[in-house]
Amino acid sequence: MSSDNPNQPLRIALVGYGKMGRMIESLAAEANCEIVLRLDEYNNADRAGMTAEAFADVDAAIEFSTPDTVVGNIERLCELGVPTAVGTTGWYKHIDEVRALAERSKAGVIYGANFSVGVNAFYRVVEAAARAFAHAEDYDCWGYEAHHKFKKDAPSGTMLRLLEVMRESGYGRPIDVATNRVGHIPGTHEFGFDSEADTIRISHTARGRAGFAKGALGAARWISSRQGFHDFSQVWDQMI
């Protein structure tokens, strides 16, 4: 039974059971969600775990796997008609293909480079900064992001989205972007503007994975009763 109503229980399949999958599992009960299926690299090699029988009792899937497996997993979920929230990053060069799959499916797909409410609010801060500095030619801009050493893609999907936000908001000059992959950092994103006179920095620092997991659970509930292809950054404020 799928529903926007948080009082209705929602049965979820985790496609990808790594750091994010486990964090989502630990927070599912407080979002009135039950994890009824867990697929990982062992029981889902070559998508072997994605059968109609396995998904018979599933209201929505949450996909946090790897850049190499995500597109095949979404394709299969669309074939099965399972509403899906996709958190994996590093696959956006295939976005047109995935949009077409989702639009042909009877179930919807929502994807987000970042499911944290704070980062999605930060996109709006960056929009405002981009507009403010668009014509302030004395200022150069840098972008910086840091993540844990296990993250496979760089720059992060969030940084790529932030760079789009800068362009869409009118900032057309070059942006010098740097990334670090080190230690256990859950995710830091920053923009800076520097002139002879001063420096302005705006940044978002995640304290852990809980914010991403809560957003993913909200996205799964939202998509469970919808069709089509959606970007979390466009609809997140309907979920809070």
Ligand X SMILES: NC(=O)c1ccc[n+]([C@@H]2O[C@H](COP(=O)([O-])OP(=O)(O)OC[C@H]3O[C@@H](n4cnc5c(N)ncnc54)[C@H](OP(=O)(O)O)[C@@H]3O)[C@@H](O)[C@H]2O)c1
The reply on whether position 237 binds ligand X by CB under 6 A is: no
The reply on whether position 6 binds ligand X by CB under 6 A is: no
Active-site residue flag, 147: yes
From residue 64 to residue 83, the character string flagging contacts with ligand X as x (rule: CB under 6 A) and all else as - is xxxx-x---x----------
Residue choice 85, 107, 151, 229 for contact with ligand X (CB under 6 A): 151
Residue choice 24, 74, 77, 87 for contact with ligand X (CB under 6 A): 87
Residue choice 83, 108, 112, 143 for contact with ligand X (CB under 6 A): 112
Active-site residue flag, 151: yes
Q: Which of 93, 148, 151, 152 is catalytic?
A: 151
Of 17-25, 26-34, 76-84, 196-204, the window that binds ligand X (rule: CB under 6 A) is 17-25
The reply on whether position 233 binds ligand X by CB under 6 A is: no
Q: Which of 19, 93, 94, 147 is catalytic?
A: 147
The reply on whether position 39 binds ligand X by CB under 6 A is: yes
> What's the one-letter identity of residue 143?
G
Contacts with ligand X, residue ranges (CB under 6 A):
15-21, 39-41, 44, 64-67, 69, 73, 87-90, 112-115, 150-151, 212
